[in-house]
Amino acid sequence: MRTLVSPAGIEISGTLDTIEGVALIEPELDQHTLNGRTLDLEYAGGTSVLWGTQKPQSNSSGIRIFQDEKGNNVLESDLCWIDEDAGITEPQRLFPIPGCESASGSDSDQASLGPYDAGQLQDIAGLIRDGANDSCGYVLGLSDEALKREGYAASDVKNIQAKSEFANKVVADIAALIERRV
């Protein structure tokens, strides 16, 4: 059976959702409760969840956000799958990149490059590689102290590292497609 995983091969736990809740308080007032024009609240230690308000979170492009078992966020468009029963242990894209799927219904083992020629795909691979190096390289090159100063959590760094590794895998896959085609 196929299992939904991140590009790093970590099992997906679910969607990242926003939900409202009522934080329960101790309602008794005493002389120390009033603090100017506000109340000093004593929380009762529970929350009443308002299930009707649950909504999945998405990025600015409207793509849903999932979370893996290690707490890393994964965009729906980056989801992968594995099938250990079938011996497929390397993450496979759930939504393949258009033009990079294998040719189907053909006796040929030659990959389809869609409307792109080898030169165009090399340019695309270069853009992916350069973009990943520019955006991920900065963060991955920071010291632990600098990461904290910049506001990055350990899970952010792991997610960026996974995306960098995934970008490198896509570049390698494009190179393999070109090699089979040429």
The pLDDT tens digits along the chain (182 residues) read 999 999 899 999 999 999 999 999 988 877 666 767 778 888 899 999 999 999 999 887 788 999 999 999 998 888 999 999 999 999 988 876 554 444 333 333 344 555 555 666 666 666 666 666 565 666 666 677 777 776 777 777 777 777 777 777 777 777 776 666 54
The 8-class DSSP code of residue 112 comes to P
Say if CB 124 and CB 155 are below 8 A apart. Answer: no
What does the block give as tokens for 71?
């707490």
Can you tell me the distance from the alpha carbon of 39 to that of 32, in angstroms, rounded to the nearest whole number? 9
Distance, in Å, from the CA atom of 150 to the CA atom of 86, rounded to the nearest integer, reads 43
Cβ neighbours of 2 (radius 10 Å):
14
Q: What is the dihedral of CA 2, 7, 9, 12, to 10 degrees?
A: -70
The ranges assigned to domains in the chain are 17-56, 98-182
Rounded CA-CA distance 16/71 in Å is 10
Query: What's residue 110's pLDDT?
Result: 41
Angle at 164 between CA 163 and CA 168, to 5 degrees: 115
